[in-house]
Amino acid sequence: MTWSCLRSLRFRCLTSKVGVFILLLCVTGICVFWRAETPSYQPPREERHCACDRCLRENGTLFLQRFDKFDEPFLSANHNLSEEAFNWWSRLRSNNPTFSSYIEVVKKIFQKFPKTPELEPPSPDRCRTCALVGNSANLNGSHYGPLIDFQDFVIRINNAPMKGYEKDVGTRTTHHVMYPESSVNLDDTTHLLLFAFKMRDLVWITKYINSGIRRGRTFNTDLMSIVNPAFIKFVHQVWLKKKGYYPSTGFLALILTLHLCDEVHLFGFGADSEGQWRHYWEELRNKLFKTGVHAGNVEFAMIKELSQNQIIKYYGGY
């Protein structure tokens, strides 16, 4: 092969490489331009009810079938309790009240009481975590105290003590569930959730509002909400299918907490390791005592079902 032929072949190869290089530059430039001018596709974001990893309204039909049936868990000036619901409620601890007397007592309450209790709806911008602390002896030795205090809201029930049990039950309280016979002193920042099981409970609160103190108890009435008697009937009939005479305070508090919170952590519910239904601060004298007029086994079965469906986070103790 002559020298001129070799030079011609080399020139053609070089030209080919330059062409390929220019082509690659063009393709790269087009791709960069395309990516800069064309927004990347993003699938539509799922609308969330809260900022938690899981929200109550997104956790299946078991909860939704019950939750969406009741809109007014608290009494208000415009509560419009039906006479049918009143008749059911008045038989719980009967002292033969009349519907008209009930209307009159509630009217007196709302002369000095906020007409509409605060009930914040869920928001995609926040996650309201709640610890509902029951009184079961299965709390003893649990060391749940720090986990309980970590939640946004800490809801306690009746006259359960904290002093001496802090490592197991925590130290914070934002909301306190009670009725007159189980009432305790509350500080000025704690919300009172008053459960009225009878007419005398409503009369008790009217006297408290007028006098500022009743039976030696103090609490901030500006932070008080009164559970609607119709809500008690709703829980008994819809959640418990009329099992038991009426729901326990603890189970009512649980269903109420599902209305208030986005994520519910449940502590201190159920029997202890020996199968006894007793409080964590006392020994049970009657070893055969179960749950009285309440359907404890049915309530606890519902708690386990809610837990298994990841609607609540249940902590059973040790």
Active site residues: 246, 294
Residue 109 corresponds to which tokens in the numbers above?
Answer: 């309450």
Q: What is the DSSP string of 212-251?
A: S-BTTB---GGGEEEB-HHHHHHIIIIISTT-SSS--HHH
67 exposure class (CB count in 10 Å sphere: 0-12, 13-18, 19+): middle
Which conformational region is residue 276 in: left (phi greater than 0), alpha (psi within -120 to 50 degrees), or beta? beta
Helical H runs in the chain? 3-37, 61-67, 83-90, 99-112, 145-150, 166-169, 199-211, 229-234, 249-260, 296-308
Pair type for strands 153-157 and 175-178: parallel
Across the strands, what pairs with 221?
A: none
Residue 122 DSSP one-character state: P
Give per-residue burial for 114-142: e unless 16+ CB within 10 Å, then b.
Answer: eeebeeeebeeeebbbbbbbbbbbbbbeb
CB distance 156 to 182 below 8 Å: no
